Amino acid sequence: MHHANHFYGHAHVLAKYAGLGPGQPPSIWGYLQHGWNILDGFAYNTAFVAGMPKFVWSDTVRRRGWSMGLRNYVVMGAAWLYLLELHPELAKPATDAAGTIFYPFHGWEGQNVLGDHAEIVASIKDHETGPITVCLYWNEYGNEAIRRVYTEAGFRVITHGYRGLNWRNTDADFLLKQLQELRRHRRVASNRLSSAVLYGASIGLQPGVYGDPMLLENEHPSFGGQARIKRLWPEMNQPYVPLELARQFTDAELGVEHVAGPAEIRDMFRWNSTKVAS
């Protein structure tokens, strides 16, 4: 299994959905898209093994990949959609849901984000009312100086956990924690259009994208940067995105119409030899 298949507990979610027993999920025969992606569905320079399938969220990703000469795509929808199937008890907002959860753009082990978090605080105060939760990625959450910028502004500061790397320390409940937190809020926002914004909008939170988008250290130009995102989806890059418009976008990008059944997942991932939980 490619180690990125484990990110955010995606393989764990899909194994549970497929009816497999608890514990470490079996290897997925192929490459699994792990986040909203504006190119071929995967990180730049992913070393694909010839002939192995590429499991992606949407047909838009598949078409872009084909235009680049890549093949063996299977469109199956985002792991997030399978999580929603597993947790019908979280189909509605919490009775005390209020305020906004904001996701600042983040870095990862190999690249830091360059920008001023104080500017993000100012933007949030300009656009939001009610209680504010700021969810930092583990990379930034571990930086006390960054956390302090938000806590001193009076915001609640959390993290959903560690996504994992090289099959180690994956928080298998990462997505579930995210769903639970989103259900505590009425609005989701970020300084960049991202997976978190799509996830929130997909369950009815009113989305917004605003503020300094920050820079990703040594970002590869093949993705086109923030300018490309704003050029392609200007309607999604505004402080208050109409929910109906946002749902059309998220349904397409998350691949709602492509969600597979448990038996189909077992077949696609070559899990048919694995015992199904009774």
pLDDT digits (tens, 9 = 90+) for 165-199: 666 788 999 999 999 999 999 999 999 999 999 99
Q: Which CATH number fits domain 89-254: 2.60.120, 1.10.1060, 3.40.50, 2.40.50?
A: 3.40.50
Residue 38 has pLDDT above 80, yes or no: yes
168, 189 Cβ separation under 8 angstroms: no
pLDDT of residue 217: 62
Contacts of 162 (CB under 8 A, 6+ apart): 138, 169, 170, 171, 174
**What does the radius of gyration of the chain's CA atoms come to, in whole angstroms?**
18
Pairing of strands 113-114, 215-216: antiparallel
Residue 110 has pLDDT above 70, yes or no: no
Query: What is the b/e burial string over 34-70, where b = at least 16 CB atoms within 10 angstroms of the residue's CB?
Result: bbbbbbbbbbeeeebeeeebbbbbbebbbebbeeeee
pLDDT of residue 112: 65
pLDDT of residue 222: 61
In this prediction, residues 123-147 reach a mean pLDDT of 94
Contacts of 95 (CB under 8 A, 6+ apart): none
Quote the mean pLDDT of the chain.
Answer: 92
SS3 161: coil
Alpha helices in 91-211 (DSSP H): 117-127, 138-141, 144-151, 174-182, 195-202
Tokens of residue 198, six digits: 């799509």
Q: Which of 214, 179, 164 is nearest to 101 (CA)?
A: 179
Q: How confident is the model at residue 24 (pLDDT cuts 50, 70, 90)?
A: confident
Q: Which of 91, 63, 74 is nearest to 183 (CA)?
A: 91
CA distance 212 to 116: 8
Residue 268 has pLDDT above 80, yes or no: yes
pLDDT digits (tens, 9 = 90+) for 66-89: 999 999 999 999 999 999 999 999
pLDDT digits (tens, 9 = 90+) for 198-257: 999 999 999 999 999 887 665 666 666 778 899 999 999 999 999 999 999 999 999 999
Alpha helices in the chain (DSSP H): 10-17, 59-67, 79-86, 117-127, 138-141, 144-151, 174-182, 195-202, 225-232, 243-254, 262-268
Q: How much of the chain exceeds pLDDT 70, in percent?
A: 92
